[in-house]
Every structure is written in C-alpha cells, then in structure tokens.
Amino acid sequence: MIYFIGKYLHPNFEFFSFLRLVDYISARSIGAALTAILLTLFFTPIFIRYLQRNGFVDQARATGIAAASDKAGTPAMGGAVMAGCVLISCLLWCNLANPFLLIVLLGMIWFGFIGLLDDLAKMRARSGDRGLSEPKKLLLQAVFAAALALLLISPFSPLPSSQIGAFYIPFLKSPVFDSVWFYFPIMFFFVLVVGNSVNITDGLDGLAIVPSVFVVGVLGVFGYLLGNAIWARYLNYPFLPGTGELAIFCSAFAGAGIGFLWFNAYPAQVFMGDTGSLAIGGCMAVLSIVLKQEALFLILGGLFAAEAASSQIQDKIGIRWLGRRIFLRAPLHHQMQHKGLAETKVVIRLWIASGILALAALATIKLR
C-alpha cells in the first residue's frame, strides 16, 4: 500500500519527494522488517490471551520425555499471528502486483490454513495425536504442489520460459537438466518434504523459528540478487526479473520471526503450532522453487532436512518395517535430548549448526 501511495505521490507532489525511497528494495525491506517486528510484539500478547481464554492450548503427546509433559497447556497456534503480521507488513510495503510475491504469500496462507485445520482438530479432540490425518494433510499439500506446477507451465508463469524445467545444483553454473518431465516430480516431492520438515523440527522452544529466519533470510538475499540484472549476470545466475520483491517478503518474515521468538524463547509462552510450522514450511518451499534453488535447500535447510530424514527413517524404515529403532530417538533433537542434553542446550547447538549451514549456503553464491 505504501508502495503504491509513494509511487503516486512522489512524482506529482514536490512535498512528497522523500517517498522516492519506495523505489528502493532495500529501504522497503527495512521498513517491512521493522513493521513486522513491531506488529508481532504488539499483537502476540493479545493473541496469547485470546488463545488462553478459548482454551486453544497445546495438547502434548506423550513422548516419554519429562520436559514435554511440563509444556502441556501452553497456548499453540502462535504461528497464526506471525503469519498475519508478515501478511500485513507485505500488504503495506510490497508491490502487490508482483506475481512472485503473490505465489509465495499464497503458499504461506495455504499451508498455514492446513496447519490451522490440524491445530483446531487437535484442540477439539483434546489430544496431540488426533489432528488431521497424515494422508489428508499430504493430499491438501499435494493439491497445492499440483496447482503450482500448472501455474508454472501456464502462460501466466512468472518465470521466464527457459527456466521452468531447469534444475540447478549449487557450485554449477548451468542446470543439470532442463525438462519439465524430470523437474516436476522432483518439485512435487520437494514441496511435500520441505512443507512438513519445519513441522517435524518444531518440537523444542525456539528451535524452529531461528533456523527458519536464517533460511528465509538467505533466500531473500538470493531473491534480491537474482532479480537484479547486473548482479545476476555478474554472479552467473539466470536473471529472474521481479524476484527482488521477495527480499521484502523475506525481511518481513525475519522481522515477524524475531518478534515471535521474543515470546517463544525458552520457556515458551506460546508455540507456533502446526499453523506456524506448516506456513513457514510452505513459504520456504515456494521461495526455493521460484528462485530455482531447490537443491540448495539440502545445505541451507540442512537442519530441517536432517530432522525430516531422521524422523522418517526411524518411523517408516525402523519402527514400521524392520521392527527396531534405528536411532535412539527421532527426530534429531529428541536424540540429542536422550543423550543427556538439556533442551536449551539442544536448541542453541542447533541454532549454531543452522547458522553455519546458512553461511555455507551464502558462500555458494560466489563459488560456482
């Protein structure tokens, strides 16, 4: 909104010439981040009270770890206010006609909505295990993935036609293959895995949000560089006109994430719930796809990948098929707790790990 107002005012009125700033992505990014932080700091306490009044509190499942049972009763669904603040901030600061931005916002809202259904189902059943069933969740996510694939091959695709089926891996300049027949199955799988990986990671206070901010922040840098013809050519990336706007979204996300951490830090006053974790997963997946950085996620989101992989290997291969545990506990953070690390220690160690991974991912920009 501010973008459109500024766009209209500064050429026409001398008095508003300072609004030229809206032409700069950097300026709007900072504005978006600050707005999002302030909004979350303001709205989260109000929302927490609302959740408490209505009994929308966490229904912990019995994991057998003592600390987990202490958390039953903490309000969940805090992710809803976070996603809401990102949305408001984007409405204020972004060019709402930008198709990249709209796709990412849609991804966040769709996934957040799936999470909301899940959270509400759990509240109603008063059980941490009886949310939306796994096949239902996956189906709703697959619908989105299919719609995204359709959009990308349609004439309305925001991506240049030469890039649609291209699959890049870090450290290589040219795509490893360029075929929608190979690319779309990978993309489909990617949406489902990344979309749920944050949900799996979200098990300890503050564990999911900080690595998410790192991941989205780095993707914001990618958005800025790839949307700039000079930088893109200099760094040997395909130029994707319009992705610069995503940097503003990512800033708003980082701001809201930090605002959320204010309340979510150990011991947490609020959890993001499935609403938050799926919304984050959804927007991370869509961001990576439209920026053509799917393979980078293995490095950038290495923590999420490891959490998702450990949980799936343990459950699907170990417990259901082989009839044994493969890890002492899964996912990764429970394994660390089981080995005798305090929750706070696990969280901070994994923050450090994800920070290192984010830096490594940034380093790949130049190493090609």
Binding residues for another protein (CB under 8 A) = 66-67, 70, 267, 317-319, 321-326, 328, 337, 339-342, 345
Angle at 224 between CA 96 and CA 89, to 5 degrees: 40
Q: What is the DSSP string of 29-56?
A: HHHHHHHHHHHHHHHHHHHHHHHHHTT-
Closest separation in Å from C-beta 20 to another protein: 53
- Cβ atoms of 94 and 45 within 8 Å: the answer is no
Q: Which is nearer to another protein, 49 or 368 (CB)?
A: 49
Angle at 165 between CA 364 and CA 96, to 5 degrees: 80
Q: Which is nearer to another protein, 99 or 318 (CB)?
A: 318
Q: Which is nearer to another protein, 172 or 326 (CB)?
A: 326
Closest separation in Å from C-beta 65 to another protein: 11
> Distance between CA atoms of 204 and 173, rounded to whole angstroms?
38
Closest separation in Å from C-beta 135 to another protein: 20
> Distance between CA atoms of 260 and 272, rounded to whole angstroms?
8
Q: Which is nearer to another protein, 188 or 327 (CB)?
A: 327
Closest separation in Å from C-beta 32 to another protein: 36
Nearest to 35 by CA among 251, 186, 215: 251
Nearest to 250 by CA among 278, 273, 222: 222
> Distance between CA atoms of 48 and 44, rounded to whole angstroms?
6
> Distance between CA atoms of 86 and 254, rounded to whole angstroms?
9
Q: Which is nearer to another protein, 99 or 128 (CB)?
A: 128
Q: Which is nearer to another protein, 246 or 268 (CB)?
A: 268
